[in-house]
Chains A and B, each alone.
Chain A
Amino acid sequence: MSSVVLSVNDVEVGQQLPPHTIHITRADLVQYTGASLDRNRIHWDELFARSVGLPDVIAHGMFTMGSAINIVSDWVGDAGRIVEYATRFIKPVVVPYERGAEVVVTGTVTAVDPQTRRATIELTAMCGADKVLGRAAAVVVLD
């Protein structure tokens, strides 16, 4: 059995995960619309988005949530080790046609329990000066 998973002995509180920048284009939102079956027009139809009072098309909150967790999967070494993941959606990610949007994701280990081999990682996701995910945290089971 190939073990690629981080050991609890190599993880400590305060440790930073390698950050990642998600570049989001309209094409990404159309792809996520198809994959997730969340076809709400605010995520791909600019005229519709404006008609309901939004500044432009916005990313699915679940797209941002689903993309942000990749830094945890990459760090722990196996996506199947993520046993809990939660967030609040506090600001929409606006995705203009021309330049798209960038979301910078960072993560910090805030708890490690050697007995259960569980670690908690708090995530931040920033779009420009806006924090887009609130109280985002994941729990992983380490080796």
Chain B
Amino acid sequence: MAVNASFTGRTYPATPPYAVGREKIREFAEAVGADDPVHTDRTHARARGYRDVIAPPTFAVLIAQKCDRQLIADPEAGIDFSRVVHGEQRFVHHRPLTAGDEIVGVLTVDSVRQAGGHAMVTTRSELSTIEGEPVCTAISTIVIRGGE
């Protein structure tokens, strides 16, 4: 048995704040080839109505993975990380992640199911500012490959 099915519905405490930084956004944008200057040029970002440079659409994974780690590291969950592959990912942006944001994430286990000898776990990370403004919902499905 790869995963503890009783984890469905479980919610973890909010993660410590993640400070969204201008240089981390630049680094991430360069790594995925996102050359929209809204990620790197503050003046440009402000001219489009943003407070500061904004993150590319998949940047939120940096914070969502910190949320997911709580589950993966939970010994009661019984997840063998060496057997984990990423099955599916969804982001819903309530507004773009912006340099200067301090983001906390609350992880909920939406479902745990078995299929074809594998276990599939869907998690939802609700990312919001420390002031409580919702910013992004990141939904991830991981597949834990079955044993021999």
Task: Give A residues with C-beta under 8 Å from B.
Answer: 1-2, 4, 22, 28, 31-32, 34-38, 52, 61-63, 65-67, 69-70, 73-74, 78-80, 82-89, 138
Contacts and interface: CB of A to CB of B under 8 A. Distances in A.
14 contacts: A31-B31, A36-B31, A36-B62, A62-B86, A63-B32, A73-B56, A74-B36, A79-B34, A82-B93, A83-B93, A84-B91, A85-B90, A85-B91, A86-B89
B57 interface: yes
Contacts of A82: 57, 93
B50 A80 contact: yes
Contact of B28 (A28, A36, A65, A88): A36
Please indicate which of the listed interface residues B28, B48, B57 has the most CB atoms of chain A within 10 Å of its own CB: B57
Contacts of B27: 34-35
Interface string B29-70: 011111110110000000111100010111001100100000
**Size band of the interface chain B makes with A:** 35 or more
B130 interface: no
B119 to A, nearest CB: 16
B49 A89 contact: no
